[in-house]
Structure 1
């Protein structure tokens, strides 16, 4: 039987540090800090609640990150 893979740890980064940044600049910064997936969503977007290690979510309104969370 094959071993169960262990997901890699999220980067040691605070999602709150992206709030207020320009969305494009925030995405570039997140990728430099080691996030494998960066997802920009409009306010009120309907999304599934599965957690994906290494993903950072941005709620973007008017080109600015208003909220940010892992997974």
Structure 2
């Protein structure tokens, strides 16, 4: 039997609360709330679609978070 992946625990947090924040402030807040991985992406960035527990993604335009999602 294959081993189960070690998935980090996801904080009970609403991604919508990050929209409109400065990217640096949003990242600091996300890490303080317990997100294991935080990544900022430009609009239209090509990314893989695998879901990774404990990761929070920001779409950033002009230094401001425009969209935020888990995984």
In the TM superposition, 1:1-71 aligns within 5 A as: 4-5=4-5, 7-71=7-71
Gaps of 5+ in 1: none
Provide TM-score, normalisation by structure 2.
0.91
What are the superposed Cα offsets for residues 42-62 of structure 1, whole Å, 9 maximum, x if unpaired? 001111100111000000000
Gaps of 5+ in 2: none
Runs of 4+ in 1 over 4 A off after TM superposition: none
- Two-structure CA RMSD over aligned residues (Å): 1.5
Provide TM-score, normalisation by structure 1.
0.91
